[in-house]
Amino acid sequence: MRKFNLLINGEMKSSSNGKWFDAVNPSTGETFAQIADASIDDVKLAIQSARKQFDSGEWSGLTVQARGLFLKKIAQVIRENASELALLECQNVGKTIKHTTFIDVPTSADTFDYFANINEELASKEIFIPAPVKSLLEREPIGVIAAVIPWNYPLIMTAWKMAPALIAGNTVVFKPSSKACAAVMRLAELINTVGLPAGVVNIVPSSDHKASSELVKSNLVDKISFTGGTETGRQVMQMASESIKRMTLELGGKSPNIVFADCDLDAAIGGTMSAIFMNQGQMCTAGSRLLLDEKIYDAFMAKLVEKTKALKIGNAEDYTMDFGPLVNKEHRDRVLQFIQQGEKEGAKVLCGGKIPEVAELVNGAYLEPTILVDVKNNMFVAQEESFGPVLSVIRFSSEEEVVKIANDTKYGLAASVWTKDGEKAKRVARQIKCGTVWINTYGGFYNEAPFGGYKQSGFGRELGLDGLYEYTQTKHICIDQTPGGKPLVSGWF
């Protein structure tokens, strides 16, 4: 049985209490590895090592270019071990091997590369002020960053948080989810080979909520970067308020996928399926509300159901499969309850909604891709996040109506708009209250462009310069240049 240790202060070590948790393959139900389960003492040690390293100035004192060289090395070891990392991500999360091979692994490497090339963006800048002073804007690292991620995109979110934090000069204590982090712990081993100073990166998965809370409450931590559920995000905010920590929160979503009658029908159907069925719907940006123009409702739904029923469901390691298992059986059962609640409210299951009755899938956490119709936007299934492959279809008859439906949610993370009318697309996009709107596409994330939410989907941004500056604090240095060196203030009294 393969075992993965914690990364603390430049050493791979087992947990202080000797505990491990299992890494289970949701395709088969089999345990394929064990991961050291960090205790609260381990987390405290990781925080202390990050604090000591930051306060020493060793890492933050390097030039941006010098720090970038380490990020390039991390990108390189990711690419050199791409097949292994892709397999671990597939085995632990359940997303298909073609997904982890062509999306997760290269994306994580590219993100480290992108931030490795940051330079002038962090340089001192002079601010013009109409007064006899020279004003400089300095961007400085915040200090110790506690980064917490969920289980659905471990490798990508590791890169999204770690790369900008490191290039800005911070040190990091990173906590991946105990539900799925095997690939991250292999990455921890690889990161530990690139020569980073001890304490710059610490990675401590834990199943102990008290250990996780220590990251948020510790006075030695300067900022929390959290991705996860909205309810947990509220708890994190409350705990962080005790020490007034800086925060970035990327939380839940109930994203509208708006399809107008004048769309490219085939493109919109394919985009709709990607928006809800990639990673088995386990995405915060999942287009889980299909807002469909009633003029094309019947034709669109007929093709959508036909293509959905044709998806090949099976072991995620099989390249021929379109659709793998959910992360575990407990989560699958919660999604089933979500579907049942929708039926109680009057929604109808048009296809899917069941555990596949196939002998070779019985030990896995499989669920058929599901489409619900006759959904009203005030129903539970239209307002709450299932975090699974469940599409709620809602009809609309006008542009004004669909914008109102799209915004009638507590979330505001993402949306898609499908139409050949470019002006209408931009007009609708500007009215939707969310952080990202895709037009005639879905799910494009780019290192150059910021990503984050409105409303209860959180605040702060990942990626782009906005995401970089989330890990900096600004300082204004004001230098008097009054002729003779005697500004007005020196003679005030």
| Residue 254: closest CA among 390, 148, 96 | 390
CATH for 256-439? 3.40.309.10
CB 6, CB 205: distance < 8 Å: yes
* C-alpha neighbours within 13 Å on the C-beta side of residue 452: 24
Q: Read off φ and ψ for residue 426, nearest 5 degrees.
A: -70, -35
- Break the chain into its structural domains and give their ranges: 2-251+457-477, 256-439
Coil, helix or strand at residue 486: coil
User: Given 3.40.630.30, 3.40.605.10, 3.40.50.150, 3.60.20.10, which CATH number is that of 2-251+457-477?
Assistant: 3.40.605.10
220: CB partners within 8 A, 6+ apart: 47, 48, 50, 51, 144
Tokens of 168: 């800005």
Concatenated DSSP letters for 121-166? GGS-EEE--SSSEEEEEEEEE-SEEEEE--SSSHHHHHHHHHHHHH
pLDDT of 173: 98
pLDDT of 50: 98
List the end-to-end C-alpha distance of the chain, in Å, as a whole number.
Answer: 77
Coil, helix or strand at residue 373: strand
pLDDT of 212: 87
pLDDT digits over 370-389, tens only?
999 999 999 999 999 999 99
**Distance between CA 79 and CA 343 in Å, rounded?**
46
**Distance between CA 30 and CA 23 in Å, rounded?**
8
- Residue 394 bridge partners (DSSP): 291
Ranges of residues in the chain with a pLDDT under 50 are: none
**Distance between CA 274 and CA 368 in Å, rounded?**
15
**Distance between CA 457 and CA 336 in Å, rounded?**
24
| Residue 258: closest CA among 371, 103, 399, 379 | 399
**Distance between CA 396 and CA 403 in Å, rounded?**
10
pLDDT of 214: 95
pTM of the model: 0.97
**Distance between CA 240 and CA 256 in Å, rounded?**
31
**Distance between CA 25 and CA 27 in Å, rounded?**
5
| Residue 200: closest CA among 68, 77, 46 | 46
Q: Hey, which residues are catalytic here?
A: 250, 284
